[in-house]
Amino acid sequence: MKRIAIVGAGVAGLTLAVETNAVAEVTVFEKSRGYGGRMATRQADSFQFDHGTQFFTAKSEQFAHFLEPCIAQGYVVRWDAEFVEIESGKIISRRNWAEGPPHYVCAPKMNELARQMAAGLDVILEARVAKIVESGSRWQLYDQNQAMLGEFDWVVLSIPAAQAFDLMPVSFCARGPIGQKQMLGCYSLMLGFTQAPPVDWQAAFVSEADISWISNDSSKPGRHGPYTLLVHSTNRWAEANMDTATETVIEYLLQELEQVAGINASSADHVGLHRWRYANIAKQDGERFFIDPGQRLAAVGDWCIHGRIEAAYLAAYELAQTLKAQL
């Protein structure tokens, strides 16, 4: 059996591993302590936050089919949120997501889907791949301490485009187009309350402001902790403020929250901030994955299609079908 190294245990990397595991010896290397990448959950005392992906949809038959057993087993569930659109500080529309196509979340937390996918796979956590070196007809992977992580026939990078560009061997034929992909940043403000603020909706798209999204995270199904609010900055504001001090970003986003939605968060018992350097990417044309059969290298991620869970899944699923034919 050929040996495949997959770098990154987000949705794309795990999809690829699940799809190829029966026909190859697959190892996934993940730099973090947990699975899921940007489909992430953070615990702060008793407060729980999905500080990356908020919800996901299934527009393609392939992804809907993949989700069927996850829904049947209860760790992917509909979130029938009371949803509003806020423009220039005013609610301009309101509807319940029970009416219309499903908006899914994972339960009891967003990274549960990744945890389930990783079961039965060889995933090595807290293993950052820092260097990939050719050795005869194989690739050797090294961590940041120069320790060898293993030797493989194929290497697939399922990490954000800029990181893939930095890590991939220069001989990879897709370096040019991958180097052109532009991912954008985002700030996630996490607010925990023992006394819930007076908000009569659970999810909001915001326009004409520097925040783009507000949700009552603890209202998602399967959560039993105290009230939490999650606020996302716009990508534009984050890009302009990537190096701004954490306290300044928090102060500004709290002001915006009050101005846009009338929510005064001064009574919050927990205030946290996460900076996503590579959060999202606009819809892409072109290749849905990158593969170089001559070099036995590939790269994939949501950034091939669109910054969405469904896109990460589809790009990796399609790469897996092509890769299997090469093994």
Ligand X SMILES: Cc1cc2nc3c(=O)[nH]c(=O)nc-3n(C[C@H](O)[C@H](O)[C@H](O)COP(=O)(O)OP(=O)(O)OC[C@H]3O[C@@H](n4cnc5c(N)ncnc54)[C@H](O)[C@@H]3O)c2cc1C
Angle in degrees, 0-180, between the axes of helices 309-326 and 11-20, rounded to the nearest 10: 30
Q: Contact with ligand X (CB under 6 A): which of 4, 5, 6, 10?
A: 10
Residue 189, beta-bridge partner list: 231, 273
Residue 22 Cβ, how far from ligand X at the closest point, in Å? 21
- Closer to ligand X by CB, 149 or 265: give it: 149
Taking CB under 6 A as the criterion, the residue among 280, 289, 317, 318 binding ligand X is: 280
Residue 212 CB, shortest distance to ligand X, in Å, is 9
Of the pair 24, 117, the CB lying nearest ligand X is at 117
Candidate list 20, 84, 192, 307; residue touching ligand X; CB under 6 A = 307
* Residue of 155, 153, 163 lying closest to 132 (CA atoms): 155
Q: Is 103 in the site for ligand X (CB under 6 A)?
A: no
Contact status: 56 vs ligand X (CB under 6 A): yes
List the beta strands (DSSP E) in the chain. 3-7, 25-29, 42-44, 47-49, 76-78, 82-87, 90-96, 104-106, 122-124, 131-135, 138-142, 148-152, 154-157, 184-193, 203-207, 211-216, 227-233, 270-280, 290-292, 297-299
Compute how many residues bind ligand X; rule: CB under 6 A. 38
Interface with ligand X includes 302 (CB under 6 A)?
yes
Cβ distance 42 to 274 under 8 Å? Answer: yes
* Residue 202 near ligand X by CB under 6 A: no
Q: How far is CA 320 from the centre of its chain?
A: 19
| φ/ψ bin of 37: left (φ > 0), alpha (ψ from -120 to 50), beta (otherwise) | left
Instruction: List, in order, residues 6 or more apart from 186 with CB less than 8 Å away.
Output: 232, 233, 234, 235, 238, 276, 279, 280
The verdict on 30 binding ligand X (CB under 6 A) reads: yes
Whole-number Å distance between alpha carbons of 206 and 190: 17
Quick check: 175 binds ligand X (CB under 6 A)? no
Give, as ranges, the residues between 215 and 274 that touch ligand X (CB under 6 A): 232
- Based on CB atoms, which residue is closest to ligand X, 53 or 216? 53
CA gap 116, 133 in Å, rounded: 32
Amino acid (1-letter code) at residue 111:
N
Q: Which stretch binds ligand X (CB under 6 A): 62-70, 156-164, 219-227, 290-298?
A: 156-164
Interface with ligand X (CB under 6 A), residue from 58, 279, 291, 305: 279
Residue among 246 and 264 whose Cβ is closer to ligand X: 246
**Rule CB under 6 A: is residue 52 a binding residue for ligand X?**
yes
The DSSP bridge pattern shows strands 297-299 and 154-157 to be parallel
192 scored as a contact of ligand X (CB under 6 A): no
Return the number of the residue (62 or 194) whose C-beta is nearest ligand X.
Answer: 62
Residues that bind ligand X in the complex, under the rule CB under 6 A: 7-13, 29-32, 37-39, 52-56, 128-129, 158-160, 163, 167, 186, 188, 232, 276, 279-280, 301-302, 307-309, 312
